[in-house]
Amino acid sequence: MANATKLPNLTDIVFFQWATPSAPSPKLSAPVGPTDTTLTFTSPPYDKSGAVVTEAFLMGIRNDEGYVETVYVPAAAMSVDGLTATGVVRGIELEGLDWTAGDTNNAATHQQDSPVFCNITGVMNAIVHSAIQGTVATGGTDFIIGNDAAGTVTISRSTGAGTTAPWLRYNNTGSEVEFSDDGVAWTAINDVTASDLVKISAADTTPGYVGAKVVDDGTTTSTTILNPGANEELQITANGNLADIIADVTATSTEINDALDGISANVTFTNLNTLTAGAASDASALHTHASLLQNFIGVAGESINGSANALPVAMSTGGFDSIMVTTANGFSELTGYVRLGELNANWKRSQSFTYTNAYASEIRLVKVIFPIRKNNVPTDDITVTLEGNSGGYPDEIVAATSTVIAGGSVTGGANQSTWANLTFATKPVIVSGTKYHVVFNRSTGPSGANYYELTNCGADVYNGQTSAVYDVIGGWGGTSNNDNSVYLEFEVDGDSKIYRLDADNLH
C-alpha cells in the first residue's frame, strides 16, 4: 500500500483495548521469530459488542528486552475464536503515512508470554497531522465545525504569528452565511444589494452596479430606478417618435397603392380597394375561419349557433343558452336518455371522438360537460375518464381522470337534469387523428333501484362517432350512434372552445 492520501476510516483500521477485566494481560501463547507471520494469543481481541475483531488493526508486541514491535493484522486475518492471526505484516514503519508497510529491520524475536496490545503508532499521528494541515484528505464527505449545539461558527485565517482574522462564518442569529474581507465588516453571501456587482466583460477592470453600467443618453432611451433603497428595479424607457428609434419607417404613395391593390411584393392576399361601402360589403374574400382548433371555411356574418354544422361556441355567463335551448322547466329538448349503472350490463358508458387538427399547435382536453339526472336516490359519485381506442371500444387504459360530481347534487324527475362540468386536473394532450373515448363511471356497483341517466338533446346525427356500453361479464360492446348531449372543452394557446361531441363539430 502506498502512503495514505486520507485519514483511514474505521472500516480501514480500528482501535480498541485488548485487555479486559476477565483477561487483563493478553500475551503470545507461543514464541515467534522475526519472519513469522502467524501469531497465537492467550486471549482474543474483542470489540465493544463482545465480538472478535475482524477489521484490520495495528498490534504491539513487547519482548524481554522491552522493545515494542508494531504488527499489521489485515482484515479477516483473525481466526473465528480470536486466538490466531495469519498473514500479518511484521515491523511496521516507525513513522510516515503507510501503516501497512513492513521493514525487516523493525522485526524482532518475541518469547512466549510476551505482552500484546492494540497499538497507536507515530504513523497515525503523522496522518492526523497531515489531514489538519491539508496535505491529505480528511477521509469524509462532511467537515463539521461546532460544539454540538446551535450557534455562530467562524473560520479564520492567520495574519501573522499568533494573530488571526475571521473571513467566513455561519451567523446563527440571521441564519445565513457571511463573508468578510477585513475580519470586521460582515456581508451575507445572499445579500444581492451589497455583494453582487456587475462587470460588462471579463476584461472589465471596474465592477459596479447595473444602474451605473447601463448607458442613458437621454434622447432615445432613459433609465429610472424604481423603489430606490428597497427592492430596486431598473426601468429602461424608449423616448421620442418611432422615427427616432427606427431609421426608415417611410412608405411612398406608390408602395401604399400597391398594397391596397394587392400587387405589392409584401402583400399577397386580396385587393382591398374593391370593397364597397356599408353593410352590403362582402368580406368573405378577405378571411377564412381557419383556426388553431378546427379546419373550416365560413363567410362574413355567418351564424355560430351550435347547429349541425356547428363552429366553436363560447359559454355564456348565464349557463349554456348559447349551445342549448332551455325553457322555464329546465331542459325541454331532453327527449331521451340512456341508463348508467342500473345493471351489470350498463355499468359504464362511453362516447368516442376523433379530433382532426390541421395545425401544429398543442391541444389539451379541459373538461367534459353533459346533462345527467338520477332515478330514485343514488348517492355515489360520477367521474369521467379519457381512454384510448381498441377495436372501436375503450382500451381501459386511463389517460386522465376528471373531477367528481357527487350524486347528492344531481336532481331527479322528468326533464330535471343537472349540467355536470367535470374538469381534468392534468389536461391530457389530444393527438390529431387519434380516436379517444370519454368513459362515464359511477363509484359504486350497479343498482337496479338507484341509478343515473345520461340525457339526450336534439336530433343531430353522429357521423362516425360511436357510443358503447360496458358489461361486467362481457366487457365493452353494443356500439351505437345515440345522440348523447356531450360537450368537450379544448384549450389551445390559452384559448378555450366548447364543441358538441359529434363528427360535425370535431372535424
337-506: CATH topology is Jelly Rolls (2.60.120)
Cβ atoms of 69 and 106 within 8 Å: the answer is yes
Tens digit of each residue's pLDDT (9 = 90 or more) over 441-479: 888 888 888 888 887 644 443 344 567 777 777 778 776
Residue 445: all three cell numbers together: 356497483
Q: Is 218's pLDDT higher than 90? A: no
pLDDT band at 88 (very low <50, low <70, confident <90, very high): very high
What does the alpha-carbon distance between residue 370 and residue 398 come to, in Å, rounded to a whole number? 20
State whether the Cα torsion 190-192-193-194 is positive or negative.
positive
What are the domain boundaries of the chain?
A: 1-140, 158-193, 337-506
pLDDT of 289 higher than 50? no
- How many angstroms separate the Cα of 237 from the Cα of each of 200, 221, 226? 21, 5, 12
For cell 376528471, name the residue: 402
Q: How many CB atoms lie within 10 A of CB 219?
A: 9
Sign of CA pseudo-dihedral 381, 384, 390, 395? negative
Average pLDDT on 377-391 reads 89
Q: Is the pLDDT of residue 30 over 90?
A: yes
Q: Report the DSSP pairing between strands 475-480 and 487-492.
A: unpaired
With residue 350 as reference, give the H or E element that holds it: strand 348-354
**Mean pLDDT, range 96-103, rounded to an integer:** 87
Instruction: Report residue 230 as a C-alpha cell.
Output: 428597497
Q: Which helix (H) or strand (E) holds 388?
A: strand 382-390
pLDDT at residue 105 above 50? Answer: yes
Question: 23 pLDDT band (50/70/90 cuts)?
Answer: very high
Higher-pLDDT residue of 34, 98: 34
Cα 296 to Cα 150: distance, rounded to the nearest angstrom: 70
Q: Binning pLDDT at 50, 70 and 90, where does residue 272 land? A: low
Taking the CB of residue 460, how many other CB atoms lie within 10 A of it? 17
**Percent of the chain residues topping a pLDDT of 70:** 71
**Of residues 209 and 315, which shows the higher confidence score?**
209
The whole-number pLDDT of residue 115 equals: 96
pLDDT of the residue at 255: 74
Q: Give the SS3 label for residue 223.
A: strand
Give the other-Cβ count within 10 Å of 224's Cβ.
Answer: 12
- 237-265: per-residue pLDDT in tens? 877 665 555 655 567 777 777 776 666 66
Residues 346-382: tens digit of each pLDDT: 888 888 877 776 665 678 888 888 778 888 888 888 8
**Measured distance CA(69)–CA(63) in Å, rounded:** 8
Provide the residue type at 245 as one letter.
Answer: I
Residue 199, pLDDT above cutoff 70: yes
Residue with cell 492494540: 118
* Residues in contact with 122: Cβ distance below 8 Å, sequence separation at least 6, in sequence order: 94, 95
Instruction: Specify whether the CB–CB gap between 499 and 381 falls below 8 A.
Output: no
Q: How far apart are CA 74 and CA 58, in angstroms?
A: 9
Q: Do residues 316 and 306 make contact, with C-beta atoms less than 8 angstroms apart?
A: no
Name the residue type at position 443: S
Q: In what order do the strands lie in the sheet with 116-118?
A: 68-73, 57-62, 116-118
Please, are residues 372 and 341 in contact by the beta-carbon 8 Å criterion?
no
Per residue in 125-135, pLDDT (tens digit) is: 888 888 887 88
Confidence of residue 488 (pLDDT cuts 50, 70, 90): confident
Instruction: Grade residue 8 by pLDDT with cuts at 50, 70 and 90.
Output: confident
Question: What is the three-class DSSP state of 363?
Answer: coil
The pLDDT of residue 220 is: 73
Which among 8-12, 304-308, 329-333, 415-419 has the top mean pLDDT?
8-12
CA distance 123 to 101: 11
Among the listed residues 127, 137, 11, 25, the one whose alpha carbon sits nearest the alpha carbon of residue 74: 11
The tens digit of pLDDT for each residue in 410-443 reads 776 555 677 788 888 888 988 888 888 888 888 8
Tell whether the model's pLDDT for residue 506 goes beyond 50. Answer: no
Q: What is the pLDDT of residues 37-57, one digit of tens each?
A: 999 999 999 998 999 999 999
**Residue 499 pLDDT > 80:** no
pLDDT at 332: 35
What's the chain's average pLDDT? 75
What share of the chain in percent tops pLDDT 90?
19
More confident residue, 329 or 206: 206
Kind plus residue range of the DSSP H or E element containing 325: none
Q: Which of the residue ranges 115-119, 232-236, 470-474 has the most confident prediction, judged by mean pLDDT?
A: 115-119
Q: Measure the CA–CA gap between 453 and 470, rounded to whole angstroms.
A: 15
* DSSP-derived secondary structure letter, 341: S
CB 220 within 8 A of CB 238: yes
Higher pLDDT, 142 or 197: 142
User: Does residue 227 carry a pLDDT above 60?
Assistant: yes
At 162 the pLDDT is 83
Q: Number of helices (H) and strands (E) in the chain: give both, helices first.
A: 6, 23
Residue 186 has pLDDT above 60, yes or no: yes
For residue 278, pLDDT over 80 is answered with no
Whole-prediction pTM:
0.39
Phi and psi based region of residue 130 (left: phi greater than 0; alpha: psi -120 to 50; beta: remaining): alpha
In which band, very low, low, confident or very high, does the pLDDT at 340 lie, cut at 50, 70 and 90?
confident
pLDDT band for 321, please (50, 70, 90 cuts): very low
- pLDDT of res. 234: 85
Instruction: Kindly provide the b/e burial profile for residues 281-291, where b requires at least 16 CB atoms within 10 angstroms of the residue's own CB.
Output: eeeeeeeeeeb
What per-residue confidence (pLDDT) applies to 117?
94
- What is the separation, in whole angstroms, between the first and last Cα of the chain? 76
Mean per-residue pLDDT, 99-119: 93
